[in-house]
Amino acid sequence: MWVTKVSGKKEKFQKEKIRKTCLRAGANSKFAKEVAEKVSSYIYDGIPTREILRLTLRILEKERPVVALRYDLKKAILDLGPSGFGFEEFIARILSEYGYKTKMPPPLEGACISHEVDIVAEKDGRRYMIECKYRNEPGVYIGIKDVLYTWARFLDLCEGFKLKRCLRLDHPWFICNTKFSRDAIQFACCKRVKLTGWRYPQGRGVSLEKLIERKGIYPITVLKEINRKAKQKLIKSNIILCRDFLKKDIKELKKITGMDTQKLKVCKSLITQIIE
């Protein structure tokens, strides 16, 4: 059986992908296997991957609502905003959870021009220039041009440091919420540009979704009980993570979102289960 991706490309259906994603979302081994089997029974040749996601979520929402919320993580990141509002802040929070000291600096002076750097992160004596790239539609890849651009900016800032115009930067790091093209990966490996994206790196590396799942750093947008407008109000109030929401009292949340007390209590209950 073949499935059709959002990009239009086809690939072989892999039941194991559903099982593994269910496991990462918190399902036990037996239930993850059952979900994969149920979804497989509906598969037909050429089925869109969006339809597979819809089928999987329908089963999860009926039997394990909290697992369903974690499973749909990719869409939750897409829901951070039409132009990526909150994505840079979200990435900074993730890195902080892993021991990085992060800041969003003013423009840095390179040898040729000044550059707006999304995040500067430091850990173990190494300082990273981080470029965050948000895509609000699925199926879009980060291509070679974006990685080349990041590399060129890094080189100019390194020259700027030699001229005592900016702070020292040791490594370029590109973080996005989608996948990378083959050329982008090849160039990054050659020039040692660190890449973190959806399902990349694989193997021993830690991809974006794994960074989130391993420490339960889920964005507030995983909650379907909160509408888009209320989510954006929360993000603007620096309530980006589910755990941020949990720390606020109902009165303050009600003032920010305009939601009723009962629904806010339901959200708090769900979050407690999501991040446990």
pLDDT along the chain (276 residues), means of 10: 87 93 90 95 93 92 88 87 76 95 96 97 97 86 96 98 97 96 97 95 89 92 91 91 94 95 94 86
CATH number corresponding to 87-215 = 3.40.1350.10
The pLDDT value recorded for residue 237 is 93
Task: List the one residue out of 105, 122, 128 whose CA is nearest residue 194.
Answer: 128
d(CA 233, CA 256): 7
> According to DSSP H, which parts of the chain are helical?
15-24, 29-40, 49-63, 65-71, 73-78, 87-97, 144-162, 182-191, 208-215, 228-236, 242-247, 250-257, 261-275
The pLDDT value recorded for residue 85 is 64
What kind of fold does domain 218-275 have according to CATH?
Answer: DNA polymerase; domain 1 (1.10.150)
The pLDDT value recorded for residue 144 is 97
The pLDDT value recorded for residue 84 is 60
pTM for this one?
0.86
Domain range annotation of the chain: 2-71, 87-215, 218-275
Q: Do domains 87-215 and 218-275 have the same CATH topology?
A: no
- 172 forms beta bridges with 129
The pLDDT value recorded for residue 82 is 63
